[in-house]
Amino acid sequence: MKIGIIGFGNMGSAIATGLVKRGVSQDDLLISDKLEGAVKRAHALGINNTGTDRLVEKSDVVLLCIDKSVYDNLELTSNQLMGKTVISCISDVNMNELSRRFKTQIVRAMPTLAVENNVGITGLCFDEYARNKEEITALFEKLGYVYTGSEDDMAKIAALGACGLSYAAYILNSFINSAQNIGFSEADAHSLVYRTFNSAMDMGDYELLMGRVSARGGVASVGLETLEDNNVSRLIDNIIKTSYTALNK
């Protein structure tokens, strides 16, 4: 399967990097981007850059990793895309619009940037004419976890997974800064916070874990009470809901 990626910014390069790491041949990948930095990133991966027309001609699957303004001015016709699969990673262009414009099989994909390291989350939504669903799903499974759902689910995945990745990074960075503030080196702070969060995830049942750690009162109980008093849980809920609402307009 030949894969063409239009747009080689953060998302396009993350997808390509993850695929190469999982053994997809650079010969099966093409990118189209006019920015010098993007072209250099592609060449560093061993992937050729070409014009949009040639990319579509040579590809079985065309990924749109561009923003809405670039999409609006993209010079592609339905005749060029006949028989191809178009996978759109554009958050604010819906399936109906894509289908009207390109008149071919459409897939919407909402990957997180962690696909670069093959530990991402990708939401997939297929149109009613899906003919290679298993093949497309397997492609994204190389990049991490795949959630297949409705078009409405794509906004949920973007809010929780894509946007959520930055929110999780914010929380982790806050822990690291606090660790440094009490005297740990930057390297030790990163190591300790990484292991703390990994340990919590590995132990599962988070409510039980909170109860076990704070069962005898003391510092942990005071800290959890402070989190509750400041409505941190409600704040996180509002952040996710606000992101979802903005993406679902």
Question: Do residue 186 and residue 143 come from a single domain?
Answer: no
Task: Decide if 85 is inside a domain.
Answer: yes
Whether the CB-CB separation of 105 and 90 falls below 8 Å is answered with no
- Rounded to whole angstroms, the Cα distance separating 218 from 222 reads 6
- Rounded to whole angstroms, the Cα distance separating 204 from 143 reads 24
- Rounded to whole angstroms, the Cα distance separating 155 from 138 reads 22
Task: Decide if 89 is inside a domain.
Answer: yes
104, 129, 149: which is the final residue of a domain?
149
- Rounded to whole angstroms, the Cα distance separating 89 from 179 reads 37
Question: Do residue 145 and residue 209 come from a single domain?
Answer: no
The residue written with tokens 């993850």 in the block is 18
Question: Do residue 175 and residue 99 come from a single domain?
Answer: no
Whether the CB-CB separation of 7 and 42 falls below 8 Å is answered with no
Q: Going from the first residue of the chain to its last (249 residues), give the mean pLDDT of each consecutive group of 10, the final group possibly shorter.
A: 96 97 96 93 94 95 95 91 94 92 95 96 91 94 96 91 94 97 97 96 90 79 92 95 87
Question: Do residue 142 and residue 165 come from a single domain?
Answer: no
Quote the pLDDT of residue 229: 95
The pTM assigned to this predicted structure is 0.88
Question: Do residue 73 and residue 91 come from a single domain?
Answer: yes
Quote the pLDDT of residue 134: 95
> Amino acid identity, residue 16?
A
Question: Do residue 192 and residue 217 come from a single domain?
Answer: yes
CATH of the domain at 163: 1.10.3730.10
Quote the pLDDT of residue 68: 93
Task: Decide if 154 is inside a domain.
Answer: no
Question: Do residue 126 and residue 166 come from a single domain?
Answer: no
CATH of the domain at 68: 3.40.50.720
Burial of 234 (C-beta count, 10 Å sphere; 0-12/13-18/19+) = exposed
Quote the pLDDT of residue 213: 85
- Domain span at residue 53 reads 3-149
Question: Do residue 181 and residue 139 come from a single domain?
Answer: no
Q: How many CB atoms lie within 10 A of CB 198?
A: 10
Task: Decide if 53 is inside a domain.
Answer: yes
Quote the pLDDT of residue 214: 80
Question: Do residue 77 and residue 124 come from a single domain?
Answer: yes
87, 117, 149: which is the final residue of a domain?
149
* Rg (the chain; Cα; Å): 21
Q: How many CB atoms lie within 10 A of CB 237?
A: 11
Question: Do residue 137 and residue 208 come from a single domain?
Answer: no
